[in-house]
Copies of this chain bind each other. A is one copy, B any other.
Amino acid sequence: MVKKYIIAIDLGGTNLKCALLDSSLRIKAKNSFSTKSFDNKHKLIDGVADSVNSFILSRKLSRDIIFGVGIGLPGPVDTLRGVVHFLPNIPGWKNVGFKKILERKTKLPVCIDNDAKLMALAEHRIGSARGYANALCLTLGTGVGGGLIINGALYRGADNAAGELGHIPLNEEGPLCGCGGKACLEAYIGNAAIIKDAHKLFGHGISLEELSRLARDKNAKAVKLWSRVGQKLGVALSGIVNLLNLDAIVIGGGISEAGAVLFENVKQTILQRAMSVQAKRVKIFKAKLGNNAGVIGAGFLVKERLAS
């Protein structure tokens, strides 16, 4: 049988996206599963394996025509050994050999990597960062992660743990973060922090989608809130731009939907705060691949490791 397809999974804080990709990384089918019940290690492992198996079963796919399964995970991953060091939002998770466990449970070859790295890989290959030698691709969501492209290649660091820009301290002192650090960027502009700030500002609970819609409609409170998010992100990015003299920054993930107000505040803050040479060089783009970046990146991972 000729192998034709890749199963690509993007495991986020709120849902698991599963996609069937052909060998040109085109999405042929998609499904989404809630991760609400994946609240401990065993439930998460079984949840991912069940999602893959039910995806295959419901589409009557033969395992013989599938190259393998690519999975992006929201935490530091040893991609070569297939070990997930930890997942910030899943208790009891420590150095789990996720690749081997899933290979047994799905009967398919499995490649795993950090989700933000896969998004960066996808955006660099066929998205907004295409053609830029040195780029940072961010995902803003439950977690604030990133992937660095250095000299045209995904930069991993010795433990494949590079790119954790959500855990750059924005201040010397500030709120505790799930990572064990303090005053991390994510503690200010992760989804949970934004929703909390919005509750204070509006006097009632409000969703991120609604906040984004209100900002696009120029609602003053929503504009104020997203301006602050853009400024905080801009301060952290100013430091990175000064350190790395980047060509491009690509912003993706849920809150990038807030649109112009977010992007304008990021750009203005970088122009005000970063050094002139670096500030003039860097281009700020919205991610092109949107919600599909994670699964497309997971597809590239499998293609490059198993299918080339």
Interface residues of A (CB under 8 A from B): 76, 85-86, 133-134, 146, 148, 150-151, 155-165, 167-172, 179-182, 231-232, 235-236, 238-240, 242-247, 272-278, 281
Asked whether, in the complex, the Cβ of B245 is within 8 Å of the Cβ of A168, the reply is no
A161 neighbours in B (Cβ, 8 Å): 245, 275, 277-278, 281
Q: Which residue in chain B gives the minimum CB-CB distance to A279?
A: B180
A182 neighbours in B (Cβ, 8 Å): 273
A148 neighbours in B (Cβ, 8 Å): 243-244
Separation of A237 and B163 alpha carbons in the complex (Å)? 14
Asked whether, in the complex, the Cβ of A159 is within 8 Å of the Cβ of B274, the reply is no
A119 to B: closest C-beta gap in Å: 16
Task: Please name 17 pairs of A and B residues whose Cβ atoms are closer than 8 Å in the assembled complex, sorted by A.
Answer: A76-B277, A86-B276, A134-B157, A151-B151, A157-B278, A158-B245, A161-B278, A164-B242, A165-B243, A167-B239, A167-B275, A169-B236, A172-B231, A172-B235, A179-B275, A180-B275, A181-B242
Which of A159, A180, A240, A244: most chain B CB closer than 10 A?
Answer: A244
- Give the residue of B85, B172, B245 whose beta carbon is less than 8 angstroms from that of A162: B245
A245 to B: closest C-beta gap in Å: 2
A164 neighbours in B (Cβ, 8 Å): 242-243, 275, 278
Q: Which residue in chain B gives the minimum CB-CB distance to A271?
A: B180
A245 neighbours in B (Cβ, 8 Å): 156-162
Contact A171:B171 (CB < 8 A) given known A133-B158, A150-B155: yes
A158 neighbours in B (Cβ, 8 Å): 133-134, 245, 247, 281
A273 neighbours in B (Cβ, 8 Å): 169, 180-182
Number of copies of this kind of chain in the complex: 2
A180 to B: closest C-beta gap in Å: 7
Q: Which residue in chain B gives the minimum CB-CB distance to A185?
A: B239
A246 neighbours in B (Cβ, 8 Å): 157
Asked whether, in the complex, the Cβ of A244 is within 8 Å of the Cβ of B277, the reply is no
Contact A171:B172 (CB < 8 A) given known A156-B245, A161-B275, A275-B161: yes
A149 to B: closest C-beta gap in Å: 12
Asked whether, in the complex, the Cβ of B181 is within 8 Å of the Cβ of A275, the reply is yes
A238 neighbours in B (Cβ, 8 Å): 169, 181
What 3 pairs between A and B have smallest CB-CB spacing?
Answer: A157-B245, A168-B239, A162-B245
Q: Which residue in chain B gives the minimum CB-CB distance to A132?
A: B158
A275 neighbours in B (Cβ, 8 Å): 76, 161, 164, 167, 179-181
Asked whether, in the complex, the Cβ of A168 is within 8 Å of the Cβ of B85, the reply is no
Q: Which residue in chain B gives the minimum CB-CB distance to A247?
A: B158
Asked whether, in the complex, the Cβ of B168 is within 8 Å of the Cβ of A277, the reply is no
A202 to B: closest C-beta gap in Å: 23
Separation of A240 and B161 alpha carbons in the complex (Å)? 12
Further pairs besides A171-B171, A181-B272, A239-B239: 6, Cβ < 8 Å:
A148-B243, A158-B245, A161-B278, A162-B243, A162-B244, A172-B235
